[in-house]
Structure 1
């Protein structure tokens, strides 16, 4: 790890620099290996600011280009972070590939990531080699009985654990992560969500354990009740409770008091966020990541004029290609046979091998993730096919076509769904 890096320039870990040093979060890791009862990873919610929210998923090979664009307009950026929208270590290959690319061009930049800790231990050495200086581990309980009330499931490899067993495995990995990080000189922050009636009475113990492990700072984050989650109807903790907990825990470990509950695509100073300004750039790079090798757009449509079919229900796709300054439909292809599990979507990726974008009315999380692994972006949208395809091929901002309707998140079996 480079000793030349000035760690004081991380605004989340140092309140004194939060008004002069900025951060950019790169949303390259959509998948997650646990399901928290307060979390709904909703990718397209422009007006909402909380962890797990982003306007688009950025391919690792576009990370440097995106950072270049950000730094042109906001040169005060000192930190590159990866905070999801899932868990960076659940998508370790993408996360590490992103940091490798950024590090090659911007070696003096501070690098950080935020993780639940489940898959973190096996990657600590490589992260330190790449110059990661700051890591946040979200640890909401140090008692598996309490943790079991917070997590629906925990997935290790292909095995899904629930209840106390899942919470115990997660806690063991979190404790190991902090030990390993501190042994290698990484600055560690422990995030703890304050959930009234669940863990608010227990957070002093979390602070004690974190301090004993050598963690540098704790961030107590008030629960933000989120629709379509088990904790949707649970009240947000009062300001008085947060103040009391910070005062108590502050006797054990330094407390962060300036958290902004950043989005997974946050950009700018903590006090002056510019995320919305960079959404068009993020979407352009996300959607246009592979137009040379994949020159076409696939469309799910009932009658051939509008984007109006669900990805999992369409019997086939129109294939559109650029034509001059417009677009035209060149052929139709049958969809993969209806089935369950990721194999169906891997087969569809083969069918749409020359398409960089799929336009659908709606789609599940699993097919979006699987197709994304093949370099194919799935966009939920509505409108005239010709208009959307033309704008896409011309490099225009197509985010205005995105579907803004509310959708429920998945808190199911932990195996992914279509």
Structure 2
């Protein structure tokens, strides 16, 4: 009985909110904005046209983002975007991998957004492989719009598009993998519609591979109850098996849509958004958390050190507010060396804690930590320190700083945010 109530509720939400989603309704694209929160880096399907990038600033296509956010960071980022625009209607998760190859991060983000912004439309975009078990939870969170990417309904064609898929920790490829993916997509679309969720099907139109097959896809998904199809021209990406194929022309796409529109309504205004897009379609606003500039060269003097908050000497994994010691690295004999584990627990309860820390680190020029809040960031910066929130291997990051004077872009995280409750 409870499930029926949820289904009825979602049917109401889906129909009433359809007009406000710019991706599902062309009339809304100049009035309502959307934001994609890039919290899902992993993917469970490798398409032959896809090359995901997590530190990309100069490409505008699905699967790329400037940085990957943690769920709690996504809320901070959303708040900043809210300050820059007054028409943000939709919050979505579309990668850069697949949301349900990262289900914990995806659901945690949606739960936080729903709790803090109950008026926002929520949506996700997935390949459909692993979404089925999460549909009841999506419904309870009032996720009203879901996109499933279906590039083939003939497993032989699918086998030429997908290099591999991973389902329940087992890898599949060829026709077997394509059959499994189609089965899971079919089940997902049916279940989404049973809950009254609006479903868009994305289809990448790939010359000489599936372009002749797209009308069959349209007919198939329409029979499952999908509401709209978005036929997307292939973007040939360097380093992928399909890099030598050409991008279908506007004329080619008009012809495809003319054939598919017989079966299902067509979306014709897709902006092929990045995984971190924000603002109106085609008019993205600047991302205040992105590191779009080239990595800044770090200046340091010979003999000065780098302090790192780490629990094991392998990963930068410790919140500055929780660190009891900092690992101190020097550049010796052409490589970074750990020279000291410096105790900072003695200042934890000090009234002027962060100025005290600055005194303890007077021989260091850089502090690397997994997370740092606004208060220590301001205090340490005022004392002349460069402070960066990063994640990754200690040796690799420290080596890059000493040798190249830059922090690898993929290691950078948001600064000025924490949730430790430890005064930072």
For the superposition of Structure 1 and Structure 2, which TM-score range results when normalised by the shorter chain? Answer: 0.7 to 0.9
2:358 pairs with one of 324, 330, 340: 324
- RMSD between superposed Cα atoms in Å: 3.6
Q: Which runs of 5+ in 1 are unaligned?
A: 331-353, 358-374, 397-418
Q: TM-score, normalised by structure 2?
A: 0.72
In structure 2, the CA distance between the partners of 1:102 and 1:316, relative to structure 1 (3 Å rule), is same
Seen in structure 2, the aligned counterparts of structure 1 residues 44 and 280 have a Cα distance that, compared at 3 Å, is closer
Q: 1:53 aligns with which of 26, 50, 64?
A: 64
The one of 261, 265, 271 aligned to 1:260:
271
SS of aligned partner of 2:54: coil
Over residues 234-255 of structure 1, what are the superposed CA-to-partner deviations in whole Å (9 max), with x where a residue is unaligned?
1111221111001111121111
Equivalent residue, structure 1, for 2:150: 139
Alignment coverage as a number of residue pairs:
344
Task: Give the CA deviation at 1:221.
Answer: 0.5
1:188 counterpart SS class: strand
Aligned match for 2:261, one of 246, 250, 253: 250
1:292 matched residue in structure 2: 321
Distance 1:153 1:123 in 2: 23
* Cα separation, 1, equivalents of 2:22 and 2:318: 31
Q: Which residue of 1 aligns with 2:128?
A: 117
Instruction: Name which of 32, 39, 43 aligns with 1:28.
Output: 39
Matched residues in 1 for 2:324 and 2:404: separation? 16
Deviation at 1:378, TM superposition (A): 2.9
**Aligned mates of 1:317, 1:388 — CA distance in 2:** 21
Contact 2:289 2:414 in 1 (8 A): no
* Equivalent pair of 1:327/1:393 in contact (CA under 8 Å): no
Larger radius of gyration: 2
Change in 2 beyond 3 A, CA 1:288/1:138: same
1 or 2, which has the higher helix percentage?
2
Residue in 1 aligned with 2:162?
151
State the distance in 1 between where 2:222 and 2:158 align.
19
* Structure 1 Cα separation of the partners of residues 100 and 26 of structure 2: 27
Secondary structure of residue in 2 paired with 1:240:
helix
| 2:240 partner SS | coil
Relative to the length of structure 1, the TM-score reads 0.73
User: Deviation of residue 62 (structure 1)?
Assistant: 2.1
Q: Which runs of 4+ in 1 moved over 4 A?
A: 1-5, 275-278, 287-290, 294-305, 314-323, 325-330, 379-389, 392-396
Residue 391 of structure 2: aligned partner: 377
Per-residue CA distance 1:138-160 (angstroms, 9 max, x = gap): 00000000000000001012210
Separation in 1, partners of 2:95, 2:70: 13
